[in-house]
Amino acid sequence: MKHFVKVLHGPDHAENAYRAISAVCTHDVTGKQVLLKVNTGFKAEPRSGICTSPDVVEGVIRYFQEKGAGRILVGDSSIVGVDSLEALASAGIRDVCEKTGVECVDLNSFDPVDKKIPGGIMVDSILFSSAPFESDIVVSMPVMKTHMYTGATLSIKNMKGCMYKREKTKLHRLSKPLPPDPRGRSLDYGLLDFTKVCYPDYAVVDGTVCMEGFGPSGGTPVQLDVVLAGSEPAAADLVALKLMGIPLEEVGHLLLISEARGVSYDTIETDPADCSPYSRKFITAGEARLGLHSDKIVMEDESACSACHAALIQFLRYHRHDFEDGEVYTIFSGKDVNKDDILKAKNPCLVGNCTARFKDLAPFCRGCPPIPSEIKKTLKGEAGISITFLGHSCFRVRSKEYSILFDPFLTGNPAANVNADDVSATTILLTHGHGDHLGDTVSIARRCRSTVFATVETASMLPEDIKVEKGQIGGYIRTDFGGVKFLPAFHGSGVAGGLACGFLLEIEGKKIYFAGDTGLTVEMSLLAEEEIDVALLPIGDRFTMGPKDAVRAVSMIRPKKVIPMHYNTMPAIEQDPQRFKEITERDTGTECIILAVGESLSL
């Protein structure tokens, strides 16, 4: 059986993408749901060789719209620590979706589905986003890139972004033994298992601006002006490899998968028959890695997985010069790290979740895999979470993996300096239903598929399509990021018979108390036992407690830091935050931090 691959070259990338998918698509797409699985694993500028080009995406959207597709989804789920919707926006893909009227989605916002692997070699099951399985047609749209561990990443590996949230790390943490006489690494066989349950219908490979060297995110852009497409993704990937000048034997997962699917260069027919004028020899990651060294960074990473190795290489590439004049640091990564080695090392640092059991012994950079910039921050003592004031009572708490909003009142907020459409959230904590707190909850949650935490009565104000975690005063909900506890607030809820609330947020080992709109309550004295890191307290008076009662609240709660909120948004709640700070620090000893709108506190 011949496998046809269409290859187009030239500067009109959108038109070439349209013609490429037109040449290979045989489905009747009328009324069908189509998922365009793009590559936005990292946050990057458009046409930089890191993310799928918005021009290529636009061309493929145009084809399916003209053919009468019912619903078109364009999306990905980025690596741990990168906001998927922000990455899609940064790459220019969200703008294309808005222009063409299709949906731009975070695949992690769909429900998870567990798929058993028939005859699994390395894994028995994988947890996926349900998006590809709910779609009638799936098109993988990768960038043509080298990869530090797999040699190259193309349409088949691009589908790994369909794995649900942290499950993506599963194929990097395989413990089963390899088969006899293996022809690849554990990850290669894991990807072979993956394709038994998740395989795209079509591949449209973006070779307009590619990447060589330290791919998939830290390499050098290569302008190739090529788009290719096929109805057998393995065939499309083999043609892409040939254009890159990389032997199939150097890309283990493609060698295994193409053989399993009966695809070889002998079974592939391309148009044009000779594509060599469009090719060039790509520098591989292995070739680029030569000479990458630092006298100030000692690596103890023999047992690290492929993902951590890749992160460490990127760290060395981008950040090793920041340590040239300082002390020697020893980085430990991998499942075989031991206590004695850590205690003997100079300035040890633990990298990756496999080393978490020793986090009391040395600075620890969590992540599976860790983010290179976070490794640098950990070594320099700058890692943690941030709390950003967005105006009135709206705050954003961000960690590497999560973006959490409190009471997102932005539209119509005279104090806000950011548009609601530019704010992303994995989670929204909503204290009550008054307009200056409910605000943009629905629009942000709908666009980002965020989960909203609210009391039962406040949740009744939200449309049925919004994902909600309901609770009541005193209730605790354990979450992926830590936990949320509903706390009392003396204030109307906006719903007859309902209660307003405050929240105790637990994230990254920190505790943040968000009081919401409330007067002073004796229950606040119970929070002293929580050893709260930061308390966010209203000081505006009239509708909440004023500065005097807020100082009393600080003395009862005894947080390490306090940030005032809900003041100076309107004349009725004008207050002097500097005076509040002086009295608070004098009378309670608690540090008071006044954040201007847009400013952040790092923990």
Q: Where are the domains of the chain?
A: 3-285, 291-379, 386-602
Lookup result for tokens 């283990």: 252
Q: Which of 1, 75, 3 is nearest to 34 (CA)?
A: 75
pLDDT at 290 (0 to 100): 59
Integer Cα distance of 123 and 10 in angstroms: 42
Integer Cα distance of 399 and 387 in angstroms: 9
Q: Which of 473, 478, 471 is nearest to 507 (CA)?
A: 478
pLDDT per position as a tens digit, 314-328: 888 888 888 988 889
- Cα–Cα separations (whole angstroms), residue 550 to 9, 415, 490, 558: 66, 21, 14, 12
pLDDT at 275 (0 to 100): 96
pLDDT at 399 (0 to 100): 87
The pLDDT > 70 percentage for the chain reads 99
- Looking at residue 371, what DSSP letter applies? P
Lookup result for tokens 């709908």: 446
pLDDT at 506 (0 to 100): 95
pLDDT per position as a tens digit, 559-576: 999 999 999 999 999 999
Helix (H) or strand (E) holding 339: helix 339-344
Helical ranges in 414-525 per DSSP H: 435-438, 441-448, 456-459
Q: Is the pLDDT of residue 301 over 90?
A: no
Length, in residues, of the chain: 603
Integer Cα distance of 398 and 384 in angstroms: 9
* Cβ-contact 219, 146 below 8 angstroms: yes
Integer Cα distance of 120 and 140 in angstroms: 23
| Three-class DSSP category at 397 | strand
* Cβ-contact 547, 541 below 8 angstroms: yes
Amino acid at 279: S
Q: Is the pLDDT of residue 555 over 80?
A: yes
Integer Cα distance of 432 and 507 in angstroms: 22
pLDDT band with cut points at 50, 70 and 90 for residue 289: low
* Cβ-contact 405, 382 below 8 angstroms: no
Amino acid at 386: S
What CATH number matches the domain at 386-602, 3.60.15.10, 3.40.50.720, 3.40.50.300, 3.30.9.90? 3.60.15.10
Lookup result for tokens 């808005």: 98
Amino acid at 56: V
pLDDT at 372 (0 to 100): 86
Peptide bond before residue 132 is cis, with ω within 30 degrees of 0: no
pLDDT band with cut points at 50, 70 and 90 for residue 291: low
* Cβ-contact 487, 500 below 8 angstroms: no
pLDDT per position as a tens digit, 183-202: 998 999 999 999 999 999 99
End-to-end CA distance of the chain: 59
pLDDT per position as a tens digit, 230-270: 999 999 999 999 999 999 999 999 999 999 999 999 999 99
Span 529-547, average pLDDT: 97
Which of 19-28, 129-138, 298-307, 569-578 is the least confident region? 298-307
Phi, psi of 85 (to 5 degrees): -70, -35
pLDDT band with cut points at 50, 70 and 90 for residue 308: confident
Lookup result for tokens 């965020």: 450
Lookup result for tokens 């709109």: 517
Integer Cα distance of 524 and 550 in angstroms: 11
Q: Which of 61, 69, 138, 144 is nearest to 107 (CA)?
A: 138
Token duo for residue 255: 């060698």
Q: Residue 321: is it exposed, middle or buried by C-beta count within 10 angstroms (0-12/13-18/19+)?
A: exposed
pLDDT band with cut points at 50, 70 and 90 for residue 51: very high
Amino acid at 176: K
Integer Cα distance of 518 and 340 in angstroms: 51
Integer Cα distance of 71 and 194 in angstroms: 26
pLDDT at 216 (0 to 100): 87
pLDDT at 189 (0 to 100): 96
* Cβ-contact 463, 442 below 8 angstroms: yes
Q: Is the pLDDT of residue 132 over 90?
A: yes
Which of 308-312, 338-342, 463-467, 477-481 is the least confident region? 308-312
pLDDT at 292 (0 to 100): 66
pLDDT at 305 (0 to 100): 75
Q: What is the DSSP string of 52-112?
A: --HHHHHHHHHHHHHTT-SEEEEEE-PPTTS-HHHHHHHTTHHHHHHHHT-EEEEGGGSPE
Q: Which of 118, 41, 134 is nearest to 81 (CA)?
A: 41
Integer Cα distance of 115 and 106 in angstroms: 20
pLDDT at 460 (0 to 100): 96
Q: Is the pLDDT of residue 294 over 90?
A: no
Q: Which residues pair with 476 in a beta bridge?
A: 485
Fold for 3-285, please state it.
Rossmann fold (3.40.50)
Compute the chain's Rg from CA coordinates: 26
pLDDT per position as a tens digit, 78-88: 877 788 999 99
Q: Is the pLDDT of residue 478 over 80?
A: yes
pLDDT at 143 (0 to 100): 98
